[in-house]
């Protein structure tokens, strides 16, 4: 199936997609800040420039977009236009994620992942539940957290 918009329009649309300060990231930051958590943003000194960094807890939270990170949920669907390109891109993104996660673990950082589907779409969870789970994890000694939408 061909794209429904001209190439110039599609290019402009794709260029407008942000890598930082995304809606899921802003939702998490707002909720955690309201609970009294203080953090750094996109710390370039850490592998992968994690979205939200909690130095006091030696923890990071990553707000992963389901499309860009190839999550197995209803929000991810491989585009029918140039599927080879998109599949290679998603595989490459997953590889970058895996390398950054391994490097963070090596440095002793705990990692939490909140998937976009937990915050939007038909499988979303109540926002308070997501924020409370993140807060409980930060206050624990658990090495990892993953919050995904309802199945």
Give the SS3 label for residue 112: strand
Give the DSSP H/E element, type plus range, for residue 80. none
Per-residue pLDDT reduced to its tens digit, 104-148 = 999 999 999 999 999 999 999 999 999 999 999 999 999 999 999
Per-residue pLDDT reduced to its tens digit, 19-49 = 677 899 999 999 999 999 999 999 999 999 9
Whether 117 and 149 have beta carbons less than 8 Å apart is answered as yes
Residue (of 19, 30, 32) closest to 59 by Cα position: 32
pLDDT at 107: 98
Whether 114 and 147 have beta carbons less than 8 Å apart is answered as yes
pLDDT at 93: 95
Indicate the pTM of the whole model.
0.88
Q: Please state, in angstroms and rounded to a whole number, the distance separating the CA atoms of residues 146 and 18.
A: 22
Whether 25 and 38 have beta carbons less than 8 Å apart is answered as no
Whether 24 and 120 have beta carbons less than 8 Å apart is answered as yes
Q: Please state, in angstroms and rounded to a whole number, the distance separating the CA atoms of residues 110 and 98.
A: 14
Domains of the chain from N-terminus onward = 17-147 (3.40.960.10)
CA distances from 73 to 29, 76, 101, 104 (A): 23, 6, 21, 26
Per-residue pLDDT reduced to its tens digit, 75-107 = 888 888 889 999 999 999 999 999 999 999 999
């Amino acid at each position: 199936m061909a794209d429904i918009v001209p190439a110039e329009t599609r290019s402009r649309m794709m260029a407008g997609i942000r890598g930082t300060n995304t809606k899921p990231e802003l939702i998490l930051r707002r909720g955690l800040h309201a609970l009294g958590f203080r953090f750094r943003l996109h710390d370039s000194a850490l592998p992968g420039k994690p979205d939200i960094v909690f130095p006091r807890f030696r923890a990071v939270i990553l707000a992963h977009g389901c499309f860009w990170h190839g999550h197995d949920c209803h929000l991810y669907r491989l585009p029918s236009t140039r599927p080879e390109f998109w599949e290679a891109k998603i595989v490459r993104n997953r590889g970058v994620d895996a390398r950054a996660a391994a490097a963070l673990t090596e440095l002793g950082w705990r990692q939490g992942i909140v998937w976009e589907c937990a915050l939007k779409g038909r499988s979303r969870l109540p926002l308070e539940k997501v924020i409370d789970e993140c807060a409980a994890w930060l206050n624990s000694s658990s090495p990892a957290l993953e919050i995904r939408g309802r199945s």
